[in-house]
Amino acid sequence: MADAKGKRDKVILAYSGGLDTSVMVHWIQEKYNLDVVTFTVDLGQGEDIEAIRQKALRTGAIDAIAIDARNLFVDCFVWPALMAGAIYEGKYPLATALGRPLIAKLMVDAARQFNARAVAHGCTGKGNDQVRFDVTFQTLAPDLRIIAPVREWKMTRDEEIAFVRQRNIPVEINEENLFSIDQNLWGRSCEAGVLEDPWVEPPAEAFAWTVDPSKAPDEPAYVVIDFDQGKPVSLEGKKMDGVALIGHLNKLAGAHGIGRIDHVENRLVGIKSRELYEAPAGVVLHMAHREIESLTLSRQAMRFKSIVAQEYADLIYNGQWFSAFHQDLAQFVLSSQRFVSGQVRVKLFKGNAFVVGRKSENSLYSKSLATYEKGDLFDHDAAKGFIRLWGLSQQTQAQLQLLKGGKGFELPGVLTDKRPE
Ligand code: ARG
């Protein structure tokens, strides 16, 4: 592809600096005749993105971009997901799934800035990540061509190594990785290798953010988390921005062995896959957030919100971040959080987090209604009439249907011939 003046068109390539994406810098130039601009984002994965940028230039990119998007990631992706209670299949706090739409959006911005005609990523053809990238690209910029070399080239690792050797591409070939890893500040995922057998216990090498719970300190640690309208704003009374707060909590909870998740999950593309996650801060914050909600939301709001949480998690997992449906759910979630402020006290001990205290200025908990001691304001007499009406329809149905003809009451679903008299 080239323009009228014979200059080559450009592609923005999501670049991690590993073997795959280094091969891509050349492969795309050769196969598609495009100039490659690499794009690397810091989402708190703990890598030196400037070093990766330099590496891209050495590897043959005509330009290389590195962006620190950690604050944007937390404020616009992680916190909304936390407030929504979005956890996929009740287990996965969605770190990777939240990162992809942001990376894709920033790549579209870069494509506009560089007047590029295409975008490229290194996702395989059987994962969720390709879906998240491609759907975001096609939503935000349907004119951009999407190139996914790994989906196309079908090279083995050895063939990739031969490819870089032939062309003298300066990339250090590390030992073959035991696992496939992805990480950002909200969590780390680990898959493949021995983990492909769901019966095999994850070996110690699979973990990087958490200590083995049996080796965690014998003394528990306590941490107080402050929420303001659903958002965590301080730890131990110390105000900090989201990036710092999550960083601190990852270290603290990880040191107590908290945040290990072993999940056989349902991928969008129809397969089950066994994934190991570490998300110390994610696990603690979701737990604490649910707790401050339990104090400040009505029963009805909590119930409805748990339905929203599932939909929210699915849409994140399935690559639909940039959808009208998401905007609608996000409005509900935001509104639901207006009284969700207060403190939660969490105990961290040998792989487990326990909420041991919670308080809020907006608390719906009334001691004088709940107490069994002096000062009880609950109207016990009112209970009697309430219960008569609450049970009325069930009582009526029993008389008119279930007990008709002098039959006894059939116990539903009891797998025995013996019935209580
Ligand atoms: N299964 C998780 C998800 O779909 C994690 C994916 C990790 N991606 C990776 N390229 N290793 O969000």
pLDDT digits (tens, 9 = 90+) for 24-52: 999 999 999 999 999 999 999 999 999 99
The answer to whether 276 and 190 are in contact (CB under 8 A) is yes
Token look-up 């390539």 returns 13
Confirm whether 100 is a catalytic residue.
yes
pLDDT of residue 173: 81
- Orientation of helix 49-59 relative to helix 19-32, angle to 10°: 40
Give residue 416's pLDDT band: very low, low, confident or very high (50, 70, 90).
Answer: low
- Segments in 275-410 forming alpha helices (H): 280-296, 299-317, 324-336, 367-370, 380-390, 392-397
Percent above pLDDT 90 for the chain? 89
End-to-end CA distance of the chain: 84
The CATH code that applies to domain 181-297+339-367 is 3.90.1260.10
Give residue 419's pLDDT band: very low, low, confident or very high (50, 70, 90).
Answer: low
pLDDT digits (tens, 9 = 90+) for 236-269: 999 999 999 999 999 999 999 999 999 999 999 9
SS3 403: coil
pLDDT of residue 175: 75
Q: 176 CA to middle of ligand 1, Å?
A: 19
For residue 403, how many other CB atoms are within 10 A of its CB?
Answer: 13
Please state, in angstroms and as integers, the Cα–Cα distance from residue 417 to each residue in 289, 398, 421, following that order: 47, 22, 12
pLDDT digits (tens, 9 = 90+) for 306-322: 999 999 999 999 999 99
Give the sheet arrangement for strand 187-191, strand by strand. 180-184, 187-191, 272-278, 260-266
Confirm whether 197 is a catalytic residue.
no
Q: 394 CA to middle of ligand 1, Å?
A: 49
Q: What is the mean pLDDT of residues 199-206?
A: 97
The answer to whether 232 and 366 are in contact (CB under 8 A) is no
Q: 82 CA to middle of ligand 1, Å?
A: 19
- Which residues have CB under 8 Å from 369's CB, separation 6+? 376, 377, 378
Atom of ligand 1 nearest to the CA of 180: 11
Give residue 176's pLDDT band: very low, low, confident or very high (50, 70, 90).
Answer: confident
Sequential DSSP letters for 273-299? EEEEEE-HHHHHHHHHHHHHHHHHS-H
pLDDT of residue 100: 98
For residue 385, how many other CB atoms are within 10 A of its CB?
Answer: 9
Phi, psi of 264 (to 5 degrees): -95, 105
pLDDT of residue 415: 66
For residue 196, how many other CB atoms are within 10 A of its CB?
Answer: 11
| Whether pLDDT at 414 is above 90 | no
Average pLDDT, the chain: 95
Phi, psi of 14 (to 5 degrees): -65, 120
Pairing of strands 187-191, 180-184: antiparallel
Q: What is the mean pLDDT of residues 67-79?
A: 98
SS3 160: helix
| Whether pLDDT at 150 is above 80 | yes
| Whether pLDDT at 3 is above 70 | no
Pairing of strands 342-349, 35-42: unpaired
Q: What's the CA gap between 144 and 137, in Å, rounded?
A: 7
Give residue 418's pLDDT band: very low, low, confident or very high (50, 70, 90).
Answer: low
Pairing of strands 352-359, 118-120: unpaired
pLDDT of residue 128: 97
- Orientation of helix 280-296 relative to helix 242-255, angle to 10°: 110
The answer to whether 285 and 232 are in contact (CB under 8 A) is yes
> Which one is the CATH code of 10-166: 3.40.50.300, 3.50.50.60, 3.40.50.1580, 3.40.50.620?
3.40.50.620
Give residue 412's pLDDT band: very low, low, confident or very high (50, 70, 90).
Answer: confident
Residue of minimum CA distance from atom 2 in ligand 1: 96
Q: Domains of the chain: which residue ranges?
A: 10-166, 181-297+339-367
The answer to whether 125 and 148 are in contact (CB under 8 A) is yes
| Whether pLDDT at 4 is above 70 | no
Q: Tell me the torsion sign for CA atoms 364, 368, 369, 371.
A: positive
pLDDT digits (tens, 9 = 90+) for 91-139: 999 999 999 999 999 999 999 999 999 999 999 999 999 999 999 999 9
Residue from 68, 109, 145, 180 carrying the catalytic annotation:
180
Q: What's the CA gap between 42 and 185, in Å, rounded?
A: 9
> To test the ligand 1 pocket, which listed residue (191, 196, 314, 320) has its Cβ within 8 A of the most ligand atoms?
191
Give residue 358's pLDDT band: very low, low, confident or very high (50, 70, 90).
Answer: very high
Q: What's the CA gap between 290 and 6, in Å, rounded?
A: 58
Q: What's the CA gap between 277 and 255, in Å, rounded?
A: 15
pLDDT of residue 228: 98
- Which residues have CB under 8 Å from 365's CB, separation 6+? 295
Q: What is the residue type of 390?
A: W
Q: Which two tokens stand for residue 294?
A: 């339990």
DSSP state of 144: S
Residue from 53, 70, 100, 290 carrying the catalytic annotation:
100
Q: What is the mean pLDDT of residues 7-14?
A: 95
pLDDT of residue 27: 96
Q: What's the CA gap between 138 and 248, in Å, rounded?
A: 37
Atom of ligand 1 nearest to the CA of 97: 12
Residues with CB under 6 A from ligand 1: 96-97, 127-129, 180, 182, 189, 275
> To test the ligand 1 pocket, which listed residue (88, 96, 134, 272) has its Cβ within 8 A of the most ligand atoms?
96
Q: What's the CA gap between 216 and 252, in Å, rounded?
A: 11
Atom of ligand 1 nearest to the CA of 273: 1
pLDDT of residue 410: 77
Confirm whether 20 is a catalytic residue.
yes
Q: What is the mean pLDDT of residues 269-296?
A: 98
Residue 238 pairs with which residues in a beta bridge?
A: 235
